[in-house]
Structures are given as structure tokens and as C-alpha cells.
Structure 1
Amino acid sequence: MRALRENLLRANQHLTRDYPLPNLIYSQRGTAAGSAWVEKWEVRLNPVLLMENQQAFIEEVVPHELAHLLVWKHFGRVAPHGGEWKWMMECVLNVSARRTHAFEVASVRSRTFPYFCRCQQHQLTVRRHNRMMRGETLYHCVHCSSQLQPGQFSAD
């Protein structure tokens, strides 16, 4: 909470604004370190990853999620990790603008299901697997663009 307050103070001073302190919720699940909910003005943190990576959360994750909220208030709807967010991270909050974390996630990783494309095997989470099984969503490989299929990988 202190890191959130300090980063918000820095941003308010730099932006000459008086944005309110967001709610801080410890309910993020899965392998995501955190998320920003702009409509509710709240930051959600993963309590398991927080306990395992306390200093990194203070220095990186809290400012990362706060930057999303601040960008939304300051610029409106823009790309999540676009130029505005990068500016907010680096110029306002003085934090390196990294999009993803590099935390060990074995303690929070749930069961996965093998899917394949033309170039490799993928591991889909239970949620994504269930969406595929219900026909709600189709997933594609970011490398070869082919649709993911359940089963085993074959490099033929």
C-alpha cells in the first residue's frame, strides 16, 4: 500500500493532478502478477506471487498496474502497453517499462492441456481449454498463425 501511495503522489505531482488512491485488492489468480481495473479504480495483486517476490512487486508490479489506471484517467482509452503507458512508467513513475514479469510461477500454475499448431506445442490453461471445448473461442499461434488443435504435437 505504501508503494501505491508513493507512486501515486509522484504521479500527481508530475501531472499536477489529484487522482485518488485506488483500491488495492489481493485477489489476482493464476500466473498474472497483477491487473488494473479502470472502471473500479482498483489494482489487483496476486497474493502468492507477492509473498514470493515482495521487493519486485513494490518496485515493478505496483507501478505497472498504477500506470494503467493513470493512463486511462489522463489519456482515455489507448493501447494497454502503448506509448502513453511507456511514458507514464518511465517519465512519470521512473520505472522501466516492462510488459511482463519473469517470476517463477510453479506455485500458481494450474493444470494445462496440450494443444498444437504447425510449428510447436502449446500448453493451454483450464480456462482456455474449456473455452475451446465449448466452442466459445479459437486460439491461434502467434508465430505461424495456425489454429491450435487439441492433442499431441507432430512436427511432420
Structure 2
Amino acid sequence: MPSSRHLDSQLQQALEQRVETCFQALETALERSFSRPSIEFSQRGKAAGSAYLTSNRLRFHPVLYKDNQQAFLQEVVPHEVCHLVCHQVYGKVRPHGPEWRALMAQVFGLNPKATHSFDVSKVIGKTFEYQCTCGPVSLTLRRHNKVLSGVRYQCRRCGDVLTQISAQIAR
């Protein structure tokens, strides 16, 4: 039985076809052609997808895609494709700047949001509990390891330096 990280070929083909449809819509709107990216299903963490501008590559999160197929195809795919097209048209611009927002709204009729609102409880990794004046804060394993190497994090609300509550790993 395949792991939850692997997609069956139908789901892969549906996403690849959506990428193509998005490119065609952008080519029609902008009256020019764009090179097609390589597509990977290897995104991890809480991000639904990533666009690698200089290597013309898209990565998508297989678990989040499986759990949110319709919204993923409708929102995430155009979001990432717009990043690649912005780079090809405008060069280096802010990731969710006015150029990207205009493409999302005008070509796809979508609200140009920078983040998704999918349930990430299945894909979130181990966390470590820290404390500040205003209460407990969970840090990811990556940030916890940075604390161990000397990095100090401050609470975004109160500004206090976070201190570890215990060495126990929470889930």
C-alpha cells in the first residue's frame, strides 16, 4: 500500500493538467508563451506548494493535495504558476506583490491570498513548548534546534525572549 505521501497517477495527472490550463490562460491573457516547469510532489511541512523561479520548478504537497483536491486545483496551482510567470515576465519582484496579485485576480478571478487555510494537523511535525509572559508558544523542531545552537526567539505579541518549558516533545 502506498504511503500517504504518494499520489496515484490520476491525481498527478489532474494537477499536471491544471498547471497546463493555468499556463494557457496566462499565455492568452499576456499574449506570449511561457516555458513549462518540472512538477514534483515532494513538498513537506505546512506549505501547500512552492515555485522555484530560477530552475522553473513547482513542488506540491501530496498530503494536502489529497485532502483538499478541489481547493488545491482551484487556488494553489494558479498561485504557484503565477509566481513562475511573474518571474518570467517581470524578473525579480516581491513574491506576493502587485504583479502577482494582478495576475491572480485578473486572469483567474481569485482573491490573491499569500497563504492557504487547509487543516495541517496531519502534516505538522513535532513541536517543543516554550514560554513567554503572555503564555505558551510551540516551536518547530527546526526552530528548537536553532535555540539549542544559540539563537534566541522573541514572542511576537509581548516581545519577551522565549524559554523552553520542558524537554518533552509535544504533538
TM-score of the two chains, using structure 1 as the length reference? 0.87
Residue in structure 2 matched with residue 148 of structure 1 by the alignment: 162
Identical positions, percent: 39
2:75 partner SS = helix
1:106 partner SS = coil
Which runs of no fewer than 5 residues in structure 1 stay unpaired? Answer: none
Which runs of no fewer than 5 residues in structure 2 stay unpaired? Answer: 1-15, 167-171
TM-score of the two chains, using structure 2 as the length reference? 0.80
Residue in structure 2 matched with residue 100 of structure 1 by the alignment: 115
Structure 1 residues 115 and 9 mapped into 2: Cα distance closer, same or farther (>3 Å)? same
Structural RMSD (CA): 1.7
Alignment: residue pair count: 151
1:121 paired residue among 136, 143, 158: 136
2:99 & 2:135 partners in 1: Cα distance? 34
- The residue type paired with residue 70 of structure 2 is Q
2:23 & 2:152 partners in 1: Cα distance? 39
Q: How far off is 1:150 after superposition? A: 2.4
- The residue type paired with residue 84 of structure 1 is E
Structure 1 residues 84 and 139 mapped into 2: Cα distance closer, same or farther (>3 Å)? farther
1:29 & 1:16 partners in 2: Cα distance? 35
Structure 1 residues 147 and 55 mapped into 2: Cα distance closer, same or farther (>3 Å)? same
Q: How far off is 1:143 after superposition? A: 3.2
Q: How far off is 1:121 after superposition? A: 2.6
